[in-house]
Structures are given as structure tokens and as C-alpha cells.
Structure 1
Amino acid sequence: MYHYTDGGLRNVWLANGYEIKKTPFGDAVSFHDGDGLTQAICQALGAKVGVLTGVELRYIRSAGMGLSQPALGKLMGIDGQSIARWEKSGKVPRWADKLVRLLYAGHAQGNEPICRVMDRIKTVERIVKQRIVVQEKRGHWTPTSEPADEDAVAA
């Protein structure tokens, strides 16, 4: 069995579906159907008894739903700092635990309204994190957008 620790998870073990390969830099692990593996883990986390840990919440948020902390916060009607605090401290309120499980289940099952809202939030987040580059050619200015370089935006 392979102890799967991606994203900080400590309670996931793989019975099969992986290969350990030798490389010049040491052993490497290759997973069959990585997306399917992520979905299976998120489904198991969504069905587990007890409140999600901060690490489990982060895994469902990032790997399962593809959302940033601010994006999940917006979806839940709170700020992203609350999400960050829960993930770091491991203390997830019961109401937030239930809502995240519900949102993940709706997303995973293709619930159209939930998927549409998540896609809209992701789109807005990508747009906000763009930088506008304006070039002058022969007396005319032309703007273009490109993904922001985080270091350049902070400067």
C-alpha cells in the first residue's frame, strides 16, 4: 500500500492504481487516472464521519473544486481569511463543514446552478489577476491582457 500525502493528507492509502519508478533523482510515483483519484478522495472526505480537518477542507477546496480561498469565501458569503484561518488552525465550524460538503457534492454531480456560480467566480478571479500591457505602434496605443506575474503586481 502507498501512503498518499498530497496536499498534506495523512489518512489516505492507495491499494493500487500507482507505480513506483526509479529515476536518477530517486523513486518517483506515477498515479493512474489522477483526476479520478482526486474525485474519489474528495468523495470519501465528503462522506466521512466527523468534521473536516483544515487539511481536508483545503484538499476539497483546491483539488476538488479548483477554488482559491477568496473564491470559496465569496461562494460561502464570508471573507477568504476565514477560510485560510480554518485551514491553518484545523478548526472548521460545523456550518462551514456542511456547506463545503454540499457545494462539493453539487459540483461533482454537475449541478448546473452550482457549477455556473463556481465558473463565474473563477472567471472573475482570473480577470482580476490579469495585467494590462499597452503598446504604442506608430502613434496608436493597443492594450492586451495577460496573466499577472505575482511579483510584478506586488511591486
Structure 2
Amino acid sequence: MYQYIESGLSNVYLKNGYSIDRVDGDEFVSIDDINGLHQKIGRLVVESKKPLSHEQFKFLRVELNLSQRVLATRFGVSEQTIARYEKGQSEIPRTTDAALRSLYMESISNNSPVSYFLDLLANSEAEQAAQQILLEEVEKLWEVTA
């Protein structure tokens, strides 16, 4: 069996579907249908009833081809928070766990607008933060000025 640590998950082993070639004393592993393998691993991770581990969290983010910064923006947290989840330094909130699982399932089945709503929320929060509030006092009452 081959321990497939290249996936970033320490508990994945392959019984077959790979070959090992030796060239000049170095070993090179070739995986058959690596995309199918990663999709199967992703589905197993997402369908597990256990909370995501830090390794699984990172695996799903990488499979989604999202940087820590982009994922942080979508989830309304700092990039450092995502990094701490992936290093196992912070507990992953259940809502974040569920959102990442949903994003992954959406990416492979296109049946849920999760990313659309997360982007909408992130953009809305950014717009609100950037919006300038201008007030003026009119007859002893504060009013919003255009």
C-alpha cells in the first residue's frame, strides 16, 4: 500500500491505482486518475459526520483552488484565522466547517448557490465598511447628509 501524503492528509492509503518508477535511484510515484481520486477523497471528507480536522480543512480549500485570503474574505474572517485553522492552532467553528463542506459540494455538483451568497455577504460588508457616513445637525437634530 502507498501512503498518499501528497494529498496533505496523513490517513490516506492507496491499495492500487498507482505506479512507482525508479530513475537514477530516485522514486517517482504516478497516480492513475488523480482528479477522480481527489474528488473521492473530498466527498469522503465532506460526508463524514466528524468535525473537519485541520488537514481536511486545508485539503478542501486547496481542492477549491482558493487562497487563504479569498476564503477568509468569503467567511468574513482574517487570513490569519484561516491559517490558524489549517495549522490546528484554532478550533474550526461548526458554521465555518459546514460552509466549507457546502462550497466543496457546490464545486463538484453545481447544485447550490452557496458561494454566490458568501460573496454577496462579503461584498456587502466591504461596501458598508467603506461607506462614509456624513451627518449634520439641523434644528438640534442629527440628520444624514447626501
TM, length-normalised to structure 2:
0.71
Query: Within the alignment, does 1:101 sit opposite 2:101 as a pair?
Result: yes
Once the two structures are superposed, what CA deviation does each residue of 1:111-150 show, in whole Å capped at 9, x if it has no partner?
Answer: 47456789xxxxxxxxxxxxxxxxxxxxxxxxxxxxxxxx
Q: CA offset at residue 94 of structure 1? A: 1.6
Query: Within the alignment, does 1:68 sit opposite 2:63 as a pair?
Result: no
For residues 117 and 68 of structure 2, what CA distance do their matches in structure 1 show?
15
Q: CA offset at residue 18 of structure 1? A: 0.6
Letter in 2 for 1:28: F
Q: Which runs of 5+ in 1 are unaligned?
A: 119-155
Other structure's SS at 1:83 match: helix
Q: CA offset at residue 108 of structure 1? A: 1.2
For residues 50 and 112 of structure 2, what CA distance do their matches in structure 1 show?
28
Quote the residue 1:50 is aligned against.
50
Distance 1:48-1:112 versus aligned 2 partners, 3 A rule? closer
Quote the residue 1:86 is aligned against.
85
Once the two structures are superposed, what CA deviation does each residue of 1:33-82 show, in whole Å capped at 9, x if it has no partner?
Answer: 111111111111111231111111001101x2000011111222222221
For residues 7 and 84 of structure 2, what CA distance do their matches in structure 1 show?
16
What is the CA RMSD across the aligned residues, in angstroms?
Answer: 2.3
Letter in 2 for 1:60: L
Query: Within the alignment, does 1:14 sit opposite 2:14 as a pair?
Result: yes
Q: Which runs of 5+ in 2 are unaligned?
A: 119-146
Distance 1:116-1:96 versus aligned 2 partners, 3 A rule? closer
Query: How many residues of Structure 1 are paired with residues of Structure 2 in the alignment?
Result: 118
Other structure's SS at 1:51 match: coil
Moved over 3 A (4+): 111-118
Say whether the 8 Å CA contact 1:73–1:82 is kept in structure 2.
yes
